[in-house]
Chains A and B, each alone.
Chain A
């Protein structure tokens, strides 16, 4: 089981957090800080696994992380997950983000938190890996994106027609 997925930047600012067990907001922040503290002091060329008495779950759990440019992607998992498998999963996640945002950077994650969550929801559900096939994930994300777009388009259309009618009313008043 995956216990939590955290994304934060080089300064420890959270960019996305997903906890699959309930914690209070304070504890969540504490976990993020503690995790950042552990992860950030590690060199670039050391292994990507960390054990340790964390707030989440205790010693059975492991932190598996990857560092991309300004962002850390950290998965907190228990012993039922394969370490190398999770590393691959992080890679898939990042590549998917890259595809969906077209050259993803930190700013994309900052401004589109909801979208990141939606992408993640197609990969991991309730702490269990749902899908690892990138093209399948992207297909589903895009299909949902299209649905959203069509809904907002109809809304915009209504707005526009409203405006036009208002404008015409306005012009008729003038005339």
Chain B
């Protein structure tokens, strides 16, 4: 056998390998396809051999061919074979090929499950790595389901290389198997604080990706991310987090307020453009989400705009582009701040880079005002001329139209100018946007009554010069404007100077070359013109001219009757017959004009595009019910012509106009008039409307009449420019006039108002040249306002919209490969479900409390709270549903303390975290006292049973001294501790301790928001800086502790280059980066602007933990003020208490009992006198300050447990009677125990 393999590998020497294949392909440039097909044949032969090396070589070549576009799915099975090779080299080739060509439809994928599982658990980390990488590309729902648990285990692998890959691939698993999200989430969250930066970054990546799709489920993580943001120095991670915050802020405006400060700091301090840009972006998102203004609101905007300006002015095109992109986001909410940079934006229009020009155009859209519209459009028109024959020109054209027509022509003051712009645009050849121009012409002519005369004249000229446009009709989209021109001339023919001439122009034989739908409009409107001409001549009793007109039609129309286009033909023949009949009547000298005009009588009104959809269905109307019995076949035939006719009309009016008969129209008009009369917002065309325009006599303003006979092009100067000049003159005159008037009527009301505006020429001052009556679009009565946006139901991310804060249910566990049925109930679930009833009660009491607080502050906040309450109610209901099963479970654990579910704790945490920030310290102080008092009331009422509730009395020294900042820290700490707890639950799930589960453990202090308690103690302080610190064990490493230090800048200067250094002792050492000497300091990864505080964490390694330690250290920093910078230093002493080596670890009473029985533990005891605090407060303090958890509590006696980082068990039995507390303690390390007890004693002697 071995011989055979070896023989195979010798054969292989003669095979073509990948390099040979590539070389071969390059040498056969002419007949590449043929050469490759012979190669594929060879590969097929190779794949048939038993030798895995040959197969791997073949698969490797297939991967290359796949890139060239050859389908290699036929070799899928061979790829699986190569994947399952025991050699890493081949395995990797196999997985690579699989990742390139496997997908959900590949059927052999189901064969791979076991192989992949084997590779995932391989002792070789690169086998696992390769399998994970491959899996990330072809994971299917089945694979995800079967492997989710294995991958989850890998998330806690010892090697960070595997951990980061496992974390990252979880996203794909979630996508394919959404059920895995909730069980896996706690561990994923845990990885956010992984010591390895790569793993941390991967976890941030995954959560950001998840949160982007369903942000609301991840709001509760905001505090954690906030901490990461302030402590991380990895720009990749920062960018991701900052982007995530951008997605979260719209959901929670309070979060935004909290973010502004750190983001602003980052903007100031970072040198990385990418980070700066994302910060600016998120600040913008925050500012958008903040509806109400905040004090330094405008400062932030200014900062952003100023930074963006720097980006835009940069010579790097990329920065320029991104700057413009971000600028357009600001524009939506703060147009004023952007408008001041108009010069810069206009400059960008000249950029050679098209992407940048397009971005600049987008910006211009939002920058126009009444004042500058004409100027900007003029500039754009210049660019249109320059951009001959590019797609960019089309883009310009649409932008010009967009800019002018935005928000109902809000910025147009002179519609004559706009019409002439549109007419100028028709000179563009080869544009695709003829229909756009046409629809604008129609819209303006219909909706702005005052402009109709002018529009009709312009359109008549257009029709007259139509030969210019029809040169190459089919590919020239611009001829679409003729559609509009013809319709306008026909519909408003009463404004025509010489209808006869226009009629003549419309019936030229050349028209027959236009597209069918345009011809149809020509024919129809020729008839309208005909009616007008008839009416005109009838008054003059000049039958000759009228008859000539009829003759003209009769002569010309047959051309259209022959048209191949059905529509044209039909209309033409109808009208032809009509005219013939009229001619007959004319010859008999019958007056026909009135009747003919009646054919086209009636006014058109614009109807909103969605109007039809929004007509509410009247009550009791069932649209599906038959009105009559189903009609017979013959009846339906009668209806047919109607349908055809009905179809034509809407097409003409761009579906704006629904077909209505004459009577209905008249009726509607009546109704509308009535409505308009009652509607105070409707701008009426009556003289009273002058007020609206704020101009005391628009009629008197001399508007220069434009001679309608002026040809389209004024030599040397395009027409719209004329308007620009005229407009300027007009405005100036107006101004002068107004000034005069104001002088006359001093101290009039209006004068006052204007003074407030004070600008030299503010928006309001510009009056439109015309009395413009922009007819608003009609909507049906009681139209439903809801404009439900349609979400894509196929979005895979929809499935991931899962409430992550809800406790896990039994059914949600990941499938684990096991032969034994799971007998043990998971402790977490049990507990969680048990605690539900109390939890909800407490929640509501807390809600009340918070509401009270809010009422005192502001109403707006309380509204939010109410909303939240509603949400909670829903949760409550949901939870109540699951109660029956809980009842059974809870029997055995009646007296147990109920630890909180993460739902309420986190939700309230978030609330607390968020609400604490914006409150000024003084206010916070005021508020806490009454609110906590309220908490006592409500909760004692709600929960009369003697539960180990948290200490509710506020600790006076804490509240007074620490203000709100400290509270925040404490919350953060709690958060940390909670996480820790969760981690431990995990150990119970997966570790062997699971057998001893009981429901009775858990820390007490988290049940309800505690009165402010903080483990942070003062480290050192001088006039510049204050440092407080807290030490915590690192449960992942038994010899490490983490010291979190909060630096607070107390001065008015900028603190930078902070360096933290400690004199190591034999026992405890500061962990320094590789390469640093033992006496080098650590740079604090941030700078501190005045008044800002930030947290940094330092890792220390310790050897013995049985004794408390003190380390001397120094912080050096540079104080930078405007004038000078000085070097300062601050000495401190870090006190490592034995408590800080303890980690809150839950323990179940059975395990606890066994531990005590084992007899390995040495005892010691302690008596405290004169403690007059409630027992549960006492417990809470021990839990909080000394990292213990309550195992069991009976009346005034409780057992508690904790573990040191090196695995020492510490057990306490706490009893109380009449102000005396006795603590019996046991531990396997007596000196550690003694020190811990001393520290507990100290804690209680302080109060």
Interface residues of A (CB under 8 A from B): 1, 14, 16-18, 20, 22, 24-26, 28-29, 43, 45-51, 80, 82-85, 87-88, 110-111, 113-114, 117-118, 121, 125-133, 136, 140, 143-144, 147-148, 151-152, 155, 158-159, 162-163
Contacts of A140 in B (CB 8 A): 129, 161
* Chain B interfacial positions (CB closer than 8 Å to A): 6-7, 9-10, 18-19, 22-23, 26, 53, 60, 63-64, 66-71, 87-89, 92-93, 96, 100, 103-104, 124, 126, 129-130, 132-133, 136-137, 161, 164-165, 168-169, 171-172, 198, 201-202, 205-206, 208-209, 212, 235-236, 239, 243, 273-274, 277-278, 317-318, 320-322, 352-356
Contact B63–A114 (Cβ < 8 Å): yes
What is the bound-complex CA distance between A85 and B124, given in angstroms? 32
Cross-interface CB contact of A25 among B69, B320, B322, cutoff 8 Å = B69
> Are A20 and B352 in contact (CB-based, < 8 A)?
no
- A-B contact number at CB 8 A: 153
Whether A46 and B168, one on each chain, are in contact in the complex, defined by CB atoms closer than 8 angstroms, is no
Using Cβ atoms and an 8 Å threshold, which residues of chain B touch A49?
318, 321-322, 355
Q: Is the CB of A48 within 8 A of B92?
A: no
Q: Which residues of B contact A114 (CB under 8 A)?
A: 18, 60, 63, 93, 96
Subset of 16 A-B contacts with CB under 8 Å: A22-B104, A80-B209, A80-B212, A84-B277, A84-B322, A85-B239, A111-B19, A114-B93, A126-B133, A126-B168, A128-B171, A132-B201, A144-B92, A147-B124, A159-B6, A159-B10
Known: A28-B69, A49-B321. A85 touches B274 (CB 8 A): yes
Of all A-B residue pairs in the complex, the 9 with the closest CB atoms, nearest first, are A126-B136, A84-B274, A22-B103, A46-B353, A47-B317, A29-B69, A47-B321, A121-B133, A148-B89
Return the contact of A130 from the options B22, B69, B164, B235 (Cβ within 8 A). Answer: B164
Contact between A80 and B168, CB atoms less than 8 A apart: no
Q: Contacts of A111 on B, CB cut-off 8 Å?
A: 18-19, 22-23
Q: Are B70 and A25 in contact (CB under 8 A)?
A: yes
**Contacts A45-B317, A125-B133 given: A14-B208 contact, CB under 8 Å?**
no
A152 x B164 contact (CB < 8 A):
no
- With CB as the reference atom, state the residue of chain B lying closest to A1: B209
A83→B96 CA distance, assembly (Å): 28
User: CA of A128 to CA of B202 in the docked complex: distance in angstroms?
Assistant: 8
For A125, what are the chain B residues with a Cβ–Cβ distance below 8 Å? 132-133, 136, 165, 168-169
- Which A residues touch B164, using CB under 8 A? 130-131
Q: Complex: how many Å from CA A20 to CA B354?
A: 29
B798 to chain A, nearest CB (A): 16
Q: Give the docked Cα–Cα distance between A160 and B277 (Å).
A: 60
Chain B neighbourhood of A148, CB < 8 A: 88-89, 92
* Chain B residues within an 8 Å CB radius of A113: 18, 63-64, 67
Nearest CB of A to B897, in Å: 42
Residues in A with CB closer than 8 Å to B7 are 162
Q: Are A47 and B318 in contact (CB under 8 A)?
A: yes
Q: CB distance A46 to B355 under 8 Å?
A: yes
* Distance between B18 CB and nearest chain A CB, rounded to angstroms: 7
Residues of B within 8 A of A163 (CB): 10
A25 to B72: give the CA distance in the assembly, Å.
9
Give which listed residue, A14, A80, A88, contacts B243 with CB less than 8 A.
A80
Query: Given contacts A22-B103, A151-B87, A152-B89, could you give 6 more A-B pairs where the C-beta distance is less than 8 Å?
Result: A80-B209, A82-B239, A113-B67, A144-B88, A147-B126, A162-B10
The interface residues of chain B lying within 8 Å CB-to-CB of A46 are: 317, 352-356
Rounded to whole angstroms, the CA-CA distance of A144 and B127 in the bound complex is 10
User: Contact: B198 with A131, CB < 8 Å?
Assistant: yes
Contacts of A143 in B (CB 8 A): 126
Contact of A126 among B171, B198, B317, B352 (CB under 8 A): B171
Q: Give the nearest-CB partner of B10 in chain A.
A: A159
* Least CB separation from B139: chain A residue: A126
User: Separation in Å of the A64 CB from the closest CB of chain B?
Assistant: 9
The residues of B that contact A22 with a CB separation of less than 8 Å are 103-104
Do residues A133 and B318 form an inter-chain contact, with CB atoms below 8 A? Answer: no
Flag if A84 contacts B318 (CB, 8 Å). Answer: yes
CB within 8 A of B6: which of A82, A121, A158? A158
Query: Which residue of B is nearest A88, CB measured?
Result: B274
Q: Taking CB as reference atom, which chain A residue is nearest B236? A: A132
Residues of A within 8 A of B161 (CB): 140
User: Which residue of chain B has the shortest Cβ distance to A110 in the bound complex?
Assistant: B22
CB contacts (< 8 Å) of A17 on chain B: these are 67
What residues of B have a CB within 8 angstroms of the CB of A152 in the complex?
A: 89
In angstroms, Cα B172 to Cα A126, docked, is: 8
Q: Which residues of B contact A147 (CB under 8 A)?
A: 88-89, 124, 126
**CA separation between A171 and B239, bound complex, in Å?**
70
Partner of B236, one of A14, A51, A83, A85: A85
| A121 to B277 Cα, complex, angstroms | 28
Question: What is the bound-complex CA distance between A22 and B101, given in angstroms?
Answer: 8
Which residues of chain A have C-beta atoms less than 8 A from B26's C-beta?
A: 110
Q: Which of A18, A47, A126, A151 contacts B355 (CB 8 A)?
A: A47
CB distance from A156 to the nearest CB of B (A): 9
- Say whether B206 contacts A128, CB under 8 Å: yes
Measured in the bound complex, the distance between the Cα atoms of B65 and A17 in whole Å is 11
CB-based contact B352/A80 at 8 Å: no
- Least CB distance from A8 to B in Å reads 10
Bound CA span A132–B168, Å: 14
Nearest chain B CB to A161 CB, angstrom units: 9
User: From A147, which residue of chain B is reached at the shortest CB distance?
Assistant: B88
A144 touching B126 in the complex, CB below 8 Å, given contacts A25-B70, A114-B60: yes
- A120 and B19 CA atoms in complex are apart in Å by 20
How far apart are the CA atoms of A129 and B234 in the complex, in Å?
A: 14
Shortest CB-to-CB span from A95 to chain B, Å, is 16
| Nearest CB of B to A80, in Å | 5
Chain A nearest Cβ from B1072, distance in angstroms: 19
A26 and B6 contacting across the interface, CB-CB below 8 Å = no
Partner of A82 from B93, B206, B277 at Cβ < 8 Å: B277
Which of chain B's residues have a CB closer than 8 A to the CB of A132? 201, 236
Q: In the assembled complex, how far is the CB of residue B168 from the closest CB belonging to chain A, in whole angstroms?
A: 5
Residues of A within 8 A of B356 (CB): 46-47
**Judging by beta carbons under 8 Å apart, are B18 and A155 in contact?**
no
Chain A: minimal CB distance from B323 (Å): 11
Nearest-Cβ distance from residue B140 to partner chain A, whole angstroms: 11
Set of chain B residues within 8 Å of A80, measured between Cβ atoms? 208-209, 212, 243
Report the minimum CB–CB distance from B1045 to chain A (whole Å): 26
CA of A151 to CA of B704 in the docked complex: distance in angstroms?
92
- Contact: A26 with B22, CB < 8 Å? no
Residues of A near B53 (CB, < 8 A) are: 155
Max chain B C-beta neighbours (<10 A), residue from A43, A85, A147: A85
Residue numbers in B under 8 Å from A20 (CB-CB): 137
Q: Smallest CB–CB gap between A10 and chain B, Å?
A: 16
> In the assembly, what is the distance between CA of A45 and CA of B318, in Å?
10
Provide the residues of chain A in CB contact with B212, threshold 8 Å: 80
B60 contacts which chain A residues (CB < 8 A)? 114
- Report the separation of the CA atoms of residues A14 and B66 in the bound assembly, to the nearest whole angstrom: 11
Q: What is the distance, in angstroms, from B886's C-beta to the closest C-beta of chain A? A: 40
Please, how many angstroms separate the alpha-carbon atoms of A141 and B475 in the complex?
57
The winner among A82, A152, A159 for most chain B CB atoms within 10 A is: A82
CB nearest neighbor in B for A155: B9
Known: A113-B64, A117-B96. A126 touches B137 (CB 8 A): yes
Minimum Cβ distance to chain B for residue A26 (Å): 7
Name the distance in Å between A105's Cβ and chain B's nearest Cβ: 14
Chain A residue contacts of B92, Cβ below 8 A: 118, 144, 148
Q: From residue A78, how far is it (CB to closest CB) to chain B in Å?
A: 9
How far apart are the CA atoms of A118 and B134 in the complex, in Å?
Answer: 11
Assembled-state Cα–Cα distance A88/B208 (Å): 20
Residues of B within 8 A of A25 (CB): 66, 69-71
Q: Is the CB of B273 within 8 A of A84?
A: yes
Q: Are B69 and A26 in contact (CB under 8 A)?
A: yes
Contacts of A144 in B (CB 8 A): 88, 92, 126
Find out whether the CB atom of B10 lies under 8 angstroms from the CB atom of A128. Answer: no
- Nearest Cβ on chain A to B1182's Cβ, whole angstroms: 43
Once A125-B169, A147-B126 are accepted as A-B contacts, the answer to whether A14 and B9 lie under 8 Å apart by CB is no
* Chain A residues within 8 Å of B201, by CB: 129, 132
